[in-house]
Amino acid sequence: MSLTAPQVPSPAPHPADGLSVWPRSTRPGSTGDLTVAGVSLAETAGRFGTPVYVLDEDEVRERCRTYRSAFPEADVVYAAKAFLCRAMAHWVREEGLGLDVCSAGELMLAVTTGFPPGKIVLHGNAKSPEDLDAAVRLGVGRIVLDSASEIARLAAIVPHGSRQRVMLRVVPGVAAGGHAKVRTGTDDQKFGLSVTDGSARHAVARVLGQSRLELVGLHCHIGSQITTVKPYVAAVRRMVGLLARIREQHGVELPQLNLGGGHGIAYRPGEESLDVRRLATRVRAELRDGCAELKLAVPRLTIEPGRAVVGPAGVCVYRVLAVKRTGPHTFVAVDGGMSDNPRPALYGVRYAPRLIGRHSTAAPHLVTVVGRHCEAGDVLAEKVPLPGDVRPGDLLAVPVAGAYHLSMASGYNLVGRPPVVAVKDGTARTLVRRESLDDLNRRDIGL
């Protein structure tokens, strides 16, 4: 069954429509509905139920191509933690990107989909024995070591006569990111080895002393939701300095440098996003000039976008269950919440939900959109304008829902996680089915 667009396509949305943060294929309809990739969101909700994640395949692919075009000489590695399913791994592979995984689970899904293990990078501040065993057995391209204890543990499981390529994650001392909980470039958080206290240099010496490990480069990740280029330039400068010190101390020039990701996107109209092409230009220049000054060979660059690839391609559609007015406050409760989007509760992310499926002439009022879960912090969007006649049964669509929604979803209140539906050329298809009550019950085997 296909959900198709009208025969005469609507014009591209104007910024005044409030659709600047929606997938580029989004078009308004005369009845208050929206279409994405030619598919009606209201019809999608009717066919697949709510909540439902809708993912624009062409938008994902176009964003992959933007990165490949901006960084033609670099390895672009998609950060699977943002969102991963078999189709996503397939799209990323077809567009020429590598894959960054953080667990044996993500790794196995990718490999069984046909993703080349040599183009996979394994991350994690505390990798389990199962994570490391799977990575070595399947032959991942690079493992990023995050602590001194991982060095000997990994070397012990690499088969005799083999060498596993590794990188060291270091903390460059650059603070960046949209919230304190996503700033990872300084010493006051759990990731990486410190340059300041000498941990990074000590780890370099230890890895170089392991015959079964091949140190191919350094890695850093300074934070998430970064919308300016300056912190990345500062990180490049410090990492190049460390590469030079490693050469001086060990006589080794490491051939790779991984700058991580964290590229910011706009969640609401008017917010800024990181200019990928400007980032590429500035990083390339700083890397070239810094290496020339220190007489280093320019290392091959790796970047790891996740949110910036898939976030803006996704929309989540909910159905209103209740509208409650308490004093000056109006609460609009929907049939999802923190179990399918914990980000507002975790670090205060703000969204711009929109009424779809019917046209309203009522004046907008500020409301708080809340979820159905038994938690006061189950708030999806605070003080957002919605038509004053919003009522149970209405549909609300939330843009920029492609990243860190399903991947961070939980089983709170045993509600079940929503499905993911891909849309392309007027057709919708299920990528990930809805988690049913039967799915939840089957896991509970004790009495």
Task: Measure Cα distances from 210 to 168, 204, 205, 206, 320 in Å.
Answer: 14, 10, 9, 7, 59
Could you give the count of Cα atoms lying within 13 Å of 17 in the half-sphere of its Cβ? 18
CB distance 207 to 145 below 8 Å: yes
Beta strand residue intervals within 262-359, DSSP E: 300-303, 314-326, 329-334, 354-356
Residue in 64, 85, 220, 374 annotated catalytic: 374
Pairwise CA distance, residues 69 & 85, whole Å:
24
DSSP secondary structure code for residue 431 in this structure: E
Coil, strand or helix at 346: helix
Give the HSE-up count for residue 246: Cα atoms under 13 Å, Cβ half-sphere: 28
Tokens of 198: 């000498």
CA 4 to chain centre: 29
DSSP string, 295-309: T-PPPEEEE--SHHH
Strands across the sheet containing 34-36: 27-28, 34-36, 39-40
Known catalytic residue at 85: no
Q: Strand pairing partners for 258?
A: 219, 302
Neighbours of 328 (CB within 10 A): 6
Q: Cα separation of 184 and 126, whole Å? A: 15
Q: How long a stretch of residues is the chain?
A: 447
Catalytic residues: 374
